[in-house]
Amino acid sequence: MSRYRGMQWPSKAPFLLKLRCLTGGSGLCHAGPDPCAGASARLPQAMQNADLPAVRGTLTANRSLSDLTWLRVGGPADWLFQPADLADLQQFLAGLDPLVPVFPMGVGSNLIVRDGGIRAVVVRLGRGFNAIAVNGLLVTAGAAALDAHVARKAAEAGVDLAFLRTIPGSIGGAVRMNAGCYGIYLADVFVSIQVVTRGGAVRTLTARDLDFRYRQTNLPEGWIITEVVLQGMKNDPQVLDAKMNDQIAKRDASQPTRDRSAGSTFRNPAGFSSTGKADDSHELKAWKLIDDAGMRGAILGGAQMSPLHSNFLINTGTATAADLEGLGEDVRKRVFNNSGLTLEWEIMRVGVAKASD
């Protein structure tokens, strides 16, 4: 099996490189293995701690991200900022040099941070952004609220957002990737979001602004979702509780929920999630294509395609980010050679590869 080799980067002086493609690609290189090669430019050198905006939250230099991702891999962020509240986040972004890349990070449920880390300020929302309130059929949740908690809180009030119960991660991330299951997507219950722009301004965005698509939205780079408003259908709380328990049982029977994974690894070429119905075709589902290519259970280093569900990439305990991404790329090659179809990553991959020793 081939192994992904990334470009080498300096290991010192955070923010000396602006990792943004001159063509306008992602500054964090999450669109592919190396979209920014040869396109780096120097940032201002006044990026020492004393020159960063003052905060009331927590700002940590060279913070390892491995313990903040579900796959438990990845190098450090140049800076990790955990704002105290909305005003703290606004003030920080407004005062931060506009050339400095900013990466919003949820709970790391759908993320591979490469072994060299992220040359950016990583913003991770916490307790100041996880409140959930229900008013009639409207559910307002802070972006850091877990999908499962939103589903349960809504169900207690008789509002059906039950599909969220088995989706890993936070509600802000679920909106960003238009998460869904059982044939229901965030777009189907979406009302609006509150965001903070890269310049620190607060805005409200609607579905027209986001242009929801299968596992995609048009949220501008560096903008941070802080609050989400959803609208569900009325239903009996006991019925919803039973519905969610049934969903959890089905998930636990078919997915490696006890392993370190990041959910589905690849998007379905069919362009939609499994519906869970008896007439749901599996011919263009990612797991079926992986099975047909003989890659169920495939191993590279400490990474493995789950024997239980072949579209789940798992860390068996010793994997590096390079192992995980390398195995994923091997799967994509084998599927293409077998079927002529190209699997697209559903897991976001960010940062830079670790420099060779």
Whether 186 is in a domain gets the answer yes
Nearest partner of 190 among 237, 236, 244, 227, judged by Cα: 227
pLDDT at 276: 59
As a whole number of angstroms, the distance between CA 165 and CA 53 comes to 38
Question: Any idea what the CATH number is for the domain that residue 224 is in?
Answer: 3.30.465.10
Among residues 190, 205, 237, which one ends one of the domains?
237
As a whole number of angstroms, the distance between CA 301 and CA 307 comes to 16
For residue 89, count CB atoms less than 10 angstroms from its CB and return exposed for 0-12, middle for 13-18, buried for 19 or more: buried
Among residues 237, 271, 293, which one ends one of the domains?
237
As a whole number of angstroms, the distance between CA 355 and CA 17 comes to 15
In order, the DSSP letters of 307-334 are: SS-TTEEEE-SS--HHHHHHHHHHHHHH
pLDDT at 18: 33
pLDDT at 32: 37
Set 264, 273, 306, 310: catalytic member? 264
- State pLDDT tens for residues 178-217: 999 888 999 999 999 999 999 999 999 999 999 999 999 9
Q: Are residues 221 and 314 in the same domain?
A: no
Let me know: does 126 contact 88? Beta carbons within 8 Å: no
Question: Any idea what the CATH number is for the domain that residue 341 is in?
Answer: 3.90.78.10
Set 227, 325, 329, 346: catalytic member? 346
> Is 332 an annotated catalytic residue?
no
Split into its structural domains, the chain has a count of 2
Number of H helices, E strands in the chain: 8, 19
Set 63, 114, 176, 215: catalytic member? 215
Q: Are residues 293 and 229 in the same domain?
A: no
**pLDDT exceeding 70 applies to what percent of the chain?**
82
Q: Are residues 230 and 150 in the same domain?
A: yes
Whether 68 is in a domain gets the answer no
Q: How confident is the model at residue 113 (pLDDT cuts 50, 70, 90)?
A: very high
Whether 341 is in a domain gets the answer yes
pLDDT, average across residues 340-351: 96
Q: Are residues 266 and 335 in the same domain?
A: yes
Report the sign of the C-alpha dihedral through residues 12, 13, 15, 21, in that order: negative
Give residue 170's domain range. Answer: 128-237
State both tokens at 315. 């860390």
Whether 139 is in a domain gets the answer yes
Whether 136 is in a domain gets the answer yes
> Is 339 an annotated catalytic residue?
no
What angle in degrees, to the nearest 10, is found between the helix axes of 237-254 and 147-156? 150
Whether 6 is in a domain gets the answer no
> Is 215 an annotated catalytic residue?
yes
pLDDT at 295: 98
As a whole number of angstroms, the distance between CA 49 and CA 54 comes to 9
